[in-house]
Amino acid sequence: MDYGICLLALVPMRAEASNKAEMVTQVLFGECYQVISQKDKWLQIQLATDNYRGWIDLNQHNSVSVAYFEKWQAAAHARVTDLLSFVENENIQIPVSRGAYLPFYEHGTFAIENRNYTFAGNVSLPDSEISKEKLTSLAVNFLKTPYLWGGKSVFGIDCSGFVQQLYGLCGYQLPRDAYQQVEHGQEVHFATQTQPGDLAYFANPEGRIIHVGMLLENQQIIHAAGEVRIDTLDHIGIYRSDRKAYSHQLRIIKRIN
């Protein structure tokens, strides 16, 4: 059994072993995974963070020992909060963006196996408590990020990836997809009782959860739809004033305690 860690800003994870296959999510710098199988030059992996499975290019794989993987999996890690920065190893600079993992970070240094790296930017520490103020501050810093199916970075993000990153930066691990995330938290029964940080979920006509966003003050919602944007939420759903129409039908609101 092989284990790995991402040493690039991000690596696309695909539904099948092909560059033409759908990108289902991304692996961020410093994120560990387990190799499940291999097909030609493709590896099927399972992320240590949310157990999501998919395929990555063998050329983007960096092995770590089982001991390092288990230690990584058992720990909470600092996360990069800068829009864009660099980590350094000797004479090499690696670009990283908001959400990147800094394993075993301490006083500007972190370790990947026997290699030491430095990072001089801003981080969110794993023992940081979840607060409305921090969630809101992080969320608005993603504004104008383009929508990208399977994305979870400032270069492109989808609705559930956006919410997962917000809570992950505050130390709470949500699953990857909206229909999985809705199982977390306690229901808020009325849109007028929402608080910043609450998560609103939206369904298609068949009742399947297909969209998620995070509530702000004054019944506003920030979500990824074309781009990360702010709209109005009421008991019906998301109302877009620019189109004078509802874009998503509200199904349920949950509060992560």
Give catalytic residue positions.
159, 211, 223
Rounded to 10 deg, the angle between the 132-140 and 159-169 helix axes is 130
228 within 8 A of 157, measured Cβ to Cβ: yes
The Cα 85–Cα 120 span in angstroms is 9
- In the chain, DSSP finds a helix count (H) and a strand count (E) of 4, 23
Q: How many CB atoms lie within 10 A of CB 40?
A: 8
Residue 58 tokens read as: 């063998």
Q: Which residues contact 107 (CB under 8 A, 6 or more apart)?
A: none
Which residues, in sequence order, are CB contacts of 71 under 8 Å at separation 6+?
none
Residue with tokens 């709470």: 172
What gap in Å lies between CA 38 and CA 36, rounded to an integer?
Answer: 7
Q: Which helix (H) or strand (E) holds 74?
A: helix 66-74
Residue 56: other Cβ atoms inside 10 A: 22
Helix, strand, coil distribution of the chain in percent, nearest 5: 15, 45, 40
- What is the rounded CA–CA span in Å between residue 180 and residue 96? 27
